[in-house]
Structure 1
Amino acid sequence: MKKSRTELEDVVLQYRSDGIKNGRGRKLSTREFAKQVDIGESTLYLRWREPESFQDKELLAIAEFIGMPLEQVKEKAIIKKTPDNQSSPSQESSSNKNSALVEKESPLKRSNPYFRFVSFALLVAIFLSVILNAVPIFKKWLLPVEIHSTFQGHAEDLDADELGQALDLHSKLYNYKLIDLITTTRGGKIEMTGTLEWSSLLEGGEVDKTAIFSASGTHIGDTAALIYAIEDEIYQESWIGTLTLHLPRSGPISGYWVSLHTEEDPISDGPFAIGRVKLKR
């Protein structure tokens, strides 16, 4: 049999069971009682299970039906105190200790995400520090080998009349044509890119090859000094040289280039090649 939770339920059960009191001469069913107090049967079951959900008008209807003062009905509608829901001093002490432990632990639990974030940030910082410290080492491995040398010597200007005899020159082998030479000056730096066509004088002077011309260097005042490179993508050939130009902000440009020829020269044994450059805007 289901155990009642309130004294009111016991009183109502006695009233339903006593045929003289209820005036029926027999036991009233739960449905009949619920109908008499104008409470749905399922609602009445809910009220017995959860007495705190009783409404005042429902308690008033029960009080009037069983002939009991309303205040007394309200008192009996309170859940009974049983050993199950009464805690001993030791249990209360243990509960208090557990609560204290929870209170002590909760700040740690709340701080765990913060500590995880700080730990992660430290790991990232350490990782980046290791990588940055290792970069110079990697650069040494990846960059070309550096060769350091020390030289002693002298330099001199050449007299115009002695220039031909003084220089160890190649003979005149080629004619060149610079096409669409785009020049960019930025601050004291200068860059040139364009197309170079050349023809061999030994083979009749007809245009033979086309290559990419690029140069970069320094531009100070009206003077530009550049290092140039010529790349022949078809024949997979390339060579470099130096270029000195009189390059004013307007007007034509003139200058000289110096390089080394590797082709066999039938006239001269000198390795150096020097040439004149003239450009117009």
Structure 2
Amino acid sequence: AYTGVVKNPEFSWLSPIVFWFLYKKKQIRDIELVYRAPLPDHLLVHLLFLGLARSSEFTGLEDKAFRTFGMLRRFSDIALERDERPPRVGGKTVDDDLNDWQNYIRARLEELEAKGRTPTLELEEYRPFMMLCAYAGVLMVYGAPCAVYRPLVDGKSAGHFLIPRLEAIVHKEDWSGEKGKPPLTHAGQALERLLAWFCNPAHRTLDLNHALPAFDSVDRRKAPDGLAPLVPTVVVEAHEAATFVRTEMASAVEEEIRRLIREVRSRYI
């Protein structure tokens, strides 16, 4: 099972929809704002939730959460670079056929070899990746506990924050509703459990290590903390653990590399 928290999502899907709605309601006149939405999802969603919190009876309740509707995205959209989407082989778009994905990877390896570069992996070693591209997708939503907005609504805090994107893996059968299953059942349940877990105050915190720059509204000076994403505590703990290991082990790894270089030189030079 896979459930992810994306702190700074590159791919905005909700913001263009919101600005399209504003355009259709004639609240904005520039159609370019739909295609180049001025606010990224993780900031726009926070403002939407804040608006809901000001009129919601659930604001302040620890067992309730705001969430958007879900967006289904194929795994290959996330795995491939922007200029590689949609993937094509011989002019044909690669969709969800495993053989087509095998042909796509084979063509990529042949391109590398034609450029004089040796592929890192053999074709068969890409099979797990090819199966994910053929059969897996990601259900994406934005959500946050209602209670985190109580200080903002009451005027006791001006500390705004960012909303991470929540993801759960979806199998091809789930999104197509095959074999009598309701679509997206398992992924939806995974996200509901994540949001329920997120509602516990002990399970959430602001990730100040990944705050975006913000400015004071009065004198335009940079605010001390900026806008930090609201994330599960385990995300911050994992980041701190990885940073500690990287810092502590960096010198040891560098010394080992130097030792290996000296050994190679002594043998072959």
TM-score under structure 1 normalisation?
A: 0.18
Higher percent of residues as helix: 2
Higher percent of residues as strand: 1
Work out which of the two has the higher radius of gyration on C-alpha atoms and give 1 or 2.
1
